[in-house]
Chain A
Amino acid sequence: MSVKEKLTAIADEIRNYGNIDGEMNLVEMADNVSVVFWEGYAECDAHHTARYVTAFVTGDGTNTITFAVPFNPDCFFVTAHGASAVSANAVQQMVFDARSFARYGGMYRIRRNGSNTQGTMSSATGGNFFRWANNTCTIECPSALNVSYASDAQYICTAVKYTDKTDKELLEEEIAMLTNEAKTIEFSKARINATVTDAEWTVMIAHLTNVNFAVNINT
């Protein structure tokens, strides 16, 4: 692969993730890397957690773990804690080997402290190893990988459902839940600025006559 082909491949990725058309020179490519980053940031920012449930699951030596979730989640996170009796390498291989979670999951990370191992992974639902049915989530490592959930490891499983509500709708809901008792409520000024105009904010809090609002541009 020539240098030009490599640069074109990078540019293709920037165009793809940044939804950008046309050729870019090196300076434009560098500039648009931040566009790609913020594109992803905006996507995350546009999704707010509507519901979540966390379960503590002990592995049973099989290639699946299950936990109750009363809604069809959009994504999930799993953190594994290896017992000290299990070597770090064993937990890593069984739970976070690149052939299992890392291959199909969104990301994974390992922290080691002596013989204890902690690993975290997350993924959107609908992957090869994640199912939801009958109010139960099942996370399955493909049997071909010969990977099991260790019976002496604890798995903290969190399933998350996103909401389609806008930032403004969420702020309105939050304000609507406040009572008009005398108190001071702190809000992020940055959040308010990004969500409503000054006039809208004034109207939004107008009925809370007994409430001080301390808004901070630094939070």
Chain B
Amino acid sequence: MKTFTRTVLIADEGMVLTNGTNYGTEIYLAEGADPSDWQEVPESEIDNADGGEGF
């Protein structure tokens, strides 16, 4: 039986992880996935990703 252990990336407080498309505070990586594909960015960047605050 084949098993593998997932690497889990956990963002620091106030930060989120993104691969440019998806966002998460925790990333459960697929087998063989490259952790460097995910960058930590401030949560505020997500808030502005859809064009910013509405009025």
State the total of A-B contacts with C-beta under 8 angstroms.
Answer: 54
Given contacts A202-B6, A209-B4, contact A186 B28 (CB under 8 A): no
Give the bracket for the number of chain A residues in contact with chain B: 10 to 19
* A216 engages B25 (CB within 8 Å): yes
Residue among B19, B21, B28 having the largest count of chain A Cβ atoms under 10 Å: B28
Residue among B6, B22, B24, B31 having the largest count of chain A Cβ atoms under 10 Å: B24
Given contacts A184-B19, A202-B6, contact A215 B25 (CB under 8 A): yes
Q: Chain B contact residues: over half helix, strand or loop, or mixed?
A: loop
8 Å CB interface, A183-219 against B: 184, 186, 189, 202, 205-206, 208-218
Whole-angstrom CA separation of A182 from B17 in the bound complex: 18
Whole-angstrom CA separation of A182 from B30 in the bound complex: 8
Q: List 19 A-B contacts (CB under 8 A).
A: A186-B24, A205-B6, A208-B30, A209-B30, A210-B31, A211-B30, A212-B22, A212-B33, A213-B24, A213-B28, A214-B17, A214-B27, A214-B28, A215-B26, A216-B23, A217-B25, A217-B26, A218-B25, A218-B43
